[in-house]
A = this chain, B = another copy of it.
Amino acid sequence: MLEQFRSKITEKKKIDGALSILQWDLETCTPKKGQEFLSEIVGYLTMKGYEISTSKEFVELLDKLKSNLNSLSPIDKKEVEIISEEIEKMKHIPSNEYQYFSELVVKAQGIWEQAKLSNNYKIYEDKLQEIFDYTLKFAKYNRKNEANLYDVVLNEYEKGMTTEKLDIFFESLKEEIVPLLQKIVAKGNPKRKLNFYNSIENQKKFNRKIGEYLGFDFDRGVVRESEHPFTLNVDKNDVRLTTKYVENTPFSAIFSTIHETGHGIYEQQIGDELKGTILACGGSMGIHESQSRFYENIIGRSKAFWKGIYSEAQNYNPILKEITIDDFYKEINIVEPSLIRTEADELTYSLHIMVRYEIEKELFSGNIKAKDLPKIWNEKMIKYLGIAPKYDSQGVLQDVHWAGGLIGYFPSYALGSAYSVQIYNAMKKDMDIDKVLENGEMDKIKNWLGDKIHKYGRLKETEEIIREITGEGLNPKYYIDYLKKKYSAIYNLDI
């Protein structure tokens, strides 16, 4: 019985693997007019996977296994549980709607790209509304009795997450971080030196070095380019990152590479004992983002990290020879309200997320429609960051997520930031992190994360992992304390 189950899982994993490659291709390679056919292929294969999961044969198999859960190994048991939950969700969705939606999001991504490139929100808003409508509809199918349907989609990315918890989280950001930002803005910033010409070829070489330095295994992964950087795993032996190079702002690609490498190392360190199971990938979006943001901010924007690699950085960016490491540290931590989330500094980043969180919430409550977004976006940007975009391409159109059907995903970034600080505090108890970084012993960091988090894949829930490491669950207090301490020191603020 277990054997039949495994054989079905193997089949599903092959379809999912093919879908990952197609998704990767769409974002890194497919020519404009080829997107339509590819989206049909994606719809077709998604449907094939759906058919396996919802087949009478498979459901019966699963029911039998469920009736005997305690006789299973922990891995088999967890797999059965996760799949049962997924099927429970899926079986409420009519298959034609499911297929329609999976094709819709592929097409929408093409249209989003055009809309962004041409700064024309109008051509995209209907598709976006449709995506929201479908997401809402699916959430309703799924939990008819749920008062707050936004909670249903939040749970897709972070089990147990609720609007109530997030409201508390973002309320504390409003109370503590928005005023801190205002103080910093009043103080002003040093003149930037880090925007300088560096050829794309040269940037690529340095970014490759950084990936290797952090411990990304290039025999089991690749780095390419895309408009919107992302990480995708086919399996632990095939992990793919993208970054985006801009000739005169080399540090944009560098932090993006460090961020995605954080995701990538997570996937590459999944335990071998999970091979062939659906547990063989990263856990919730929140814990995934905790890893990327840990590498990007806590490691990547620390002085100790750059001490370990500064001479190498100077080789690829000769202008750094004229900049002391103290000045460099200040520069990579400049706080400045800006328009683009992915290029935001560590402090303002979560405020960008707050804008998206509030919009998703209101769209779900039906108070607003997709057509209202540009206006509302800009109002919220003014309210929290003090600036608003002149062009929608730098505003509501900047992110691909919603076009890709990822609604309820954005809060994971903020959760990830909060988790990352909790993890950092725990890691400090086991090693002198600054010393490790100065010595360039990046493997020590990687191994610690591998052992405490990565190896488990989806075997353990995020909550469980965080509790084991830190002794408590999500607590935004540490994150806010960390930000206040770090930035009051950099800006000489007395808070």
Interface residues of A (CB under 8 A from B): 11, 14-15, 17-18, 21-22, 24-25, 28-34, 36-38, 40-41, 44-45, 48, 199-201, 218-222, 224, 234-235, 237-240
Q: Give A45's nearest chain B residue, CB to CB.
A: B18
A200 to B11, CA, bound (A): 42
- Can you spell out 10 A-B residue pairs with CB atoms less than 8 angstroms apart? A11-B44, A21-B38, A30-B222, A31-B220, A31-B237, A34-B234, A37-B235, A37-B238, A38-B238, A201-B201
- Partner of A41 from B17, B33, B40 at Cβ < 8 Å: B17
Known: A21-B21, A222-B29. A238 touches B11 (CB 8 A): no
Q: Are B224 and A33 in contact (CB under 8 A)?
A: no
Q: Are B201 and A37 in contact (CB under 8 A)?
A: no
Residues of B within 8 A of A201 (CB): 199-201
Q: Are B31 and A14 in contact (CB under 8 A)?
A: no
A48 to B51, CA, bound (A): 14
Q: Are A14 and B33 in contact (CB under 8 A)?
A: no
Q: Are B237 and A33 in contact (CB under 8 A)?
A: yes
A28 to B240, CA, bound (A): 13
- Partner of A222 from B24, B31, B237 at Cβ < 8 Å: B31
- Partner of A238 from B21, B24, B30, B224 at Cβ < 8 Å: B30
Residues of B within 8 A of A237 (CB): 31, 33-34, 36-37
CB distance from A36 to the nearest CB of B (A): 7
A44 to B45, CA, bound (A): 12
Q: Are A17 and B33 in contact (CB under 8 A)?
A: no
Residues of B within 8 A of A17 (CB): 37-38, 41
CB distance from A124 to the nearest CB of B (A): 19
Residues of B within 8 A of A32 (CB): 219-220
Q: Are B235 and A34 in contact (CB under 8 A)?
A: yes
Residues of B within 8 A of A240 (CB): 29, 31
Q: Are B41 and A238 in contact (CB under 8 A)?
A: no
A28 to B29, CA, bound (A): 10
A33 to B34, CA, bound (A): 29
A15 to B14, CA, bound (A): 13
Q: Are B221 and A44 in contact (CB under 8 A)?
A: no
Copy total for this chain: 2
Residues of B within 8 A of A41 (CB): 14, 17-18, 21
- Partner of A25 from B14, B25, B31, B44 at Cβ < 8 Å: B25
Residues of B within 8 A of A238 (CB): 30-31, 33-34, 37-38
Q: Are B21 and A25 in contact (CB under 8 A)?
A: yes
Residues of B within 8 A of A25 (CB): 21, 24-25
Residues of B within 8 A of A48 (CB): 48
Known: A37-B235, A38-B238, A238-B37. A219 touches B29 (CB 8 A): no
Q: Give A233's nearest chain B residue, CB to CB.
A: B34
Residues of B within 8 A of A239 (CB): 31
Residues of B within 8 A of A15 (CB): 44
Q: Are B224 and A31 in contact (CB under 8 A)?
A: no
Q: Are B44 and A14 in contact (CB under 8 A)?
A: yes
- Partner of A22 from B18, B44, B200 at Cβ < 8 Å: B18
Known: A21-B38, A38-B21. A31 touches B221 (CB 8 A): yes
Q: Are B21 and A220 in contact (CB under 8 A)?
A: no
Q: Give A238's nearest chain B residue, CB to CB.
A: B34
A41 to B219, CA, bound (A): 19
Q: Give A16's nearest chain B residue, CB to CB.
A: B41
A470 to B22, CA, bound (A): 42
Residues of B within 8 A of A30 (CB): 222, 238
A220 to B35, CA, bound (A): 9
Residues of B within 8 A of A14 (CB): 40-41, 44-45
Supplied contacts A14-B41, A17-B37, A31-B219, 12 more A-B pairs, CB within 8 Å: A11-B44, A14-B45, A18-B41, A18-B45, A31-B222, A33-B219, A34-B220, A34-B221, A38-B234, A38-B238, A48-B48, A200-B201
Residues of B within 8 A of A199 (CB): 201
CB distance from A332 to the nearest CB of B (A): 28
A38 to B237, CA, bound (A): 10
Residues of B within 8 A of A36 (CB): 237
Which of A11, A45, A221, A237 gathers most chain B CB within 10 Å? A237
A234 to B38, CA, bound (A): 9
A240 to B38, CA, bound (A): 14
A31 to B236, CA, bound (A): 11
Which of A15, A18, A36 gathers most chain B CB within 10 Å? A18
Q: Give A275's nearest chain B residue, CB to CB.
A: B37
A224 to B220, CA, bound (A): 21
CB distance from A190 to the nearest CB of B (A): 34
A418 to B266, CA, bound (A): 55
